[in-house]
Amino acid sequence: MDLLLTDKVIIVTGGAKGIGEGIVEVLTREGAMPVIVGRSEEDNQKALDKIGGKGLQVVAELTRPEDCQRAVEAVLTKYGRIDGLVNNAGVNDGVGLERGSYEAFIASLHKNLVHYYLMAHHALPALKASRGAIVNISSKTADTGQGNTSAYAASNGGRNALTREWAVELLPYGIRVNAIVVAECYTPLYDAWVKTLPDPEGTLKRITERIPLGKRMTTAEEIANTAVFLLSERSSHTTGQLLYVDGGYVHLDRALA
């Protein structure tokens, strides 16, 4: 299926690694012009080189509001348009309730939620002009809890709520807004987390055995395929949705495992 994304300019925050990189790769295959926004120029450039250099990379520390604005301005300077935004950057940083603090909680919101708002806010005039689309990447932690990750769970609850709120607010402009809720997706960050545990292999085995469809982790490409479809006009009447690309992890009966 042709997703009609040829030469469409799509911003992907955190596009240098993991799920973001997967989205960038699928966008490239569909002929789009991905813009990788991330804090490391080296990582950004490596991801851009991997897709043949087509597109743009912008170095930005998204916890700084001025960097969010500057990143959007850089895209408009280069292309003069923005056709889509994927808010993806973030980290499950383990800021809990019992052993957390005000400072750590607020810092985590800036890492995981505030820049979702700022990127959309600054990109909005261009998205209105193109009747573009927004896709927010979210996490199961907002639905299931996880333990010792209050700030990340709150951020994902916020991502889901903003998805529905923006879908309503942006109806007059024909801008569609959807979210993908990720559960157990194997990425470099996930791999790094597993390796901090006392029994990495055993833990990974126990997790995968609880995933109903195929008893395996979701891949970054599977998340990316859905994200790119939601960015495209092929999903022209889909907005305000939270799509769970998780092999049934969140909603199907655990007795299936």
DSSP assignment, residue 237? T
219: tokens are 């891949």
Query: Any residues with CB less than 8 A from the CB of 198 and at least 6 apart, and which?
Result: none
Q: Which CATH number fits domain 9-183+220-244: 3.40.109.10, 3.40.50.300, 3.40.50.280, 3.40.50.720?
A: 3.40.50.720
pLDDT tens, position by position, for the chain (257 residues)?
Answer: 899 999 999 999 999 999 999 999 999 999 999 999 999 999 999 999 999 999 999 999 999 999 999 999 999 999 999 999 999 999 999 999 999 999 999 999 999 999 999 999 999 999 999 999 999 999 999 999 999 999 999 999 999 999 999 999 999 999 999 999 999 999 988 888 889 889 999 999 999 999 999 999 999 999 999 999 999 999 999 999 999 999 999 999 977 76
Which residues make Cβ contacts (< 8 Å) with residue 102, sequence separation at least 6?
A: none
What residues does each domain of the chain span? Answer: 9-183+220-244, 186-217
* Amino acid residing at 245: V
Contact 119, 162 (CB under 8 A): no
Amino acid at residue number 184: E
| Phi, psi of 216, deg, nearest 5 | -150, 165
For 112, half-sphere exposure in the C-beta direction (CA atoms, 13 angstrom radius) is: 27
Catalytic sites, residue numbers? 152
Let me know: does 139 contact 246? Beta carbons within 8 Å. no
**Is there a contact between 222 and 180 (Cβ–Cβ < 8 Å)?**
no
Q: Judge contact between 159 and 138, C-beta under 8 A.
A: yes
Q: Which residues is 181 bridged to in the sheet? A: 138, 244
DSSP tag of 240 = S
Helices within 111-149 (DSSP H only): 115-130, 141-144
**Burial, 202: exposed, middle or buried (Cβ in 10 Å; 0-12, 13-18, 19+)?**
exposed
Q: What is the DSSP string of 5-69?
A: -TT-EEEEETTTSHHHHHHHHHHHHTT-EEEEEES-HHHHHHHHHHTTT-SEEEE--TTSHHHHH
Cα separation, 145 vs 152, in Å, equals 10
